[in-house]
């Protein structure tokens, strides 16, 4: 089918209320639109449990694609008992805190469901519309390598693609992971309040993580067809921040 909009949603990082101010603006229609979430749903923000519940409620529904991010990968390793400290040291403690409202048995069941959801998330996604390929992943790609042959490490962790001077590939590639406030064309730092998705290389490279976890940071969505974008609103408690 030809989609009306193909929306890439940047990293949420446990900021549920902020995310809802974005989602309501989109007036999403699962029969005509596609929403591709770029991963990193939890950690750093105070409402990871609420974000996880929302993702699990919508996972598998028409029009929704949820990709795995590196924070999701770290949390999965923690849930499976493989490696916990790396996750805790990178924002996982806020996620643990958000689960304290649940009884232990309820929290265990919740996390088991979430771990299964992460395992079922794709590492990348491709849409071809009107002859143009659109690629989505959390972190980036190795240019010149077919999507099916990209390394998992690259898809989840690299910052090289976001920070490269140029990208001259044919597919339009959209990523999260590297916050736009940490990047700019002239090397200066963009204040979170001013951050918006970066549309680079004649629209072939789109950076959609606008630092939602930062004070006054935004969560953004980009229509990769038109390059139009939406940003979350400031929360009441953020408006008084210096």
Q: With pLDDT > 70 as the criterion, what percentage of the chain qualifies?
A: 98
Residue 89 pLDDT > 90:
yes
CATH architecture designation of domain 5-238: 4-Layer Sandwich (3.60)
Count the neighbouring beta carbons within 10 Å of the beta carbon of residue 68.
Answer: 26
Mean of all residue pLDDT scores within the chain = 95
- Three-state SS sequence of the chain: CCCCEEEEECCCCCCHHHHHHHHHHHCCCCCCEEEEECCCCCCCCCCHHHHHHHHHHHCCCCCEEEECCHHHHHHHHHHCCCCCHHHHHHHHHHHHHHCCCCCHHHHHHHHHHHHHHHHHCECEEEEEECCEEEEEECCCCCCCCCHHHCCHHHHHHCCHHHHCCCCCCCCEEEECCCCHHHCCCCCCCCCHHHCCCEEECCCCEEECCCCCCCCCCCCEEEECCCCCEEECCCCHHHCCCC
CA 45 – CA 93 distance, rounded (Å): 10
Residue the block writes with tokens 């490269």: 164
Give the strand pairing for 5-9 and 205-207.
unpaired
Look at 74-78, 155-159, 233-237 and tell me which has the smallest mean pLDDT.
233-237
CA-closest candidate to residue 215, choices 230, 187, 195? 195
Q: Which residues are paired to 138 by β-bridges?
A: none
Confidence at residue 121, expressed as pLDDT on a 0 to 100 scale: 98
Reported as a single tens digit per residue, the pLDDT across 190-208 is 888 889 999 999 999 999 9
Report the pLDDT value the prediction gives residue 241, as an integer from 0 to 100: 65
pLDDT digits (tens, 9 = 90+) for 103-158: 999 999 999 999 999 999 999 999 999 999 999 999 999 999 999 999 999 999 99
What is the per-residue pLDDT for 187?
63
Q: What is the pLDDT of residue 185?
A: 58
Residue 213 pLDDT level (bands cut at 50, 70, 90): very high
Whether 238 shows a pLDDT value over 90: the answer reads no
Q: What pLDDT, in 10s, does the model give residues 42-61? A: 999 999 999 999 999 999 99
> Is the pLDDT assigned to residue 242 strictly greater than 70?
no
Residue 186, pLDDT score? 66
Band (237; pLDDT cuts 50, 70, 90): confident
Distance between CA 106 and CA 114 in Å, rounded? 12
- Strand 132-137's sheet: what is its strand order? 124-129, 132-137, 172-175, 205-207, 198-200
Nearest to 37 by CA among 212, 235, 231, 209: 209
pLDDT above 70: residue 69: yes
Question: And the tokens for 77?
Answer: 């390793």
* Residue 9, pLDDT above cutoff 90: yes
Please give the model's pTM, rounded to 2 decimal places. Answer: 0.96
Measured between alpha carbons, how far is 117 from 151 in angstroms, rounded to an integer?
21
């Amino acid at each position: 089918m030809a989609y009306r909009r193909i929306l890439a949603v940047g990293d949420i990082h446990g900021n549920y209320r902020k995310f809802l101010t974005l989602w309501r603006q989109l007036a999403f229609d699962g029969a005509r639109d596609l929403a591709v979430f770029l991963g990193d749903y939890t950690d750093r923000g105070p409402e990871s449990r609420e974000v996880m519940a929302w993702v699990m409620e919508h996972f598998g529904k028409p029009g929704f694609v949820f990709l795995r991010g590196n924070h999701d990968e770290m949390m999965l390793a923690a849930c499976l008992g493989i490696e916990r400290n790396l996750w805790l040291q990178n924002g996982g403690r806020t996620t643990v805190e958000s689960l304290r409202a649940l009884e232990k048995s309820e929290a265990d069941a919740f996390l088991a469901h979430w771990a299964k959801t992460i395992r079922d998330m794709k590492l990348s996604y491709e849409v071809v519309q009107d002859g143009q390929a659109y690629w989505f992943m959390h972190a980036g790609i190795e240019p010149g390598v077919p999507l099916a042959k990209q390394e998992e490490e690259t898809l989840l962790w690299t910052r090289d693609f976001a920070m490269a001077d140029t990208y001259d590939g044919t597919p339009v590639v959209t990523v999260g992971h590297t916050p736009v406030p940490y990047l700019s064309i002239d090397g200066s730092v963009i204040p979170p309040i001013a951050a918006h998705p970066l549309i680079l290389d004649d629209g072939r490279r789109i950076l959609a993580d606008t630092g939602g976890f930062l004070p006054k940071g935004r969560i953004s969505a980009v229509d990769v067809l038109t390059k139009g974008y939406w940003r979350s609103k400031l929360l009441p408690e953020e408006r008084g921040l210096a």
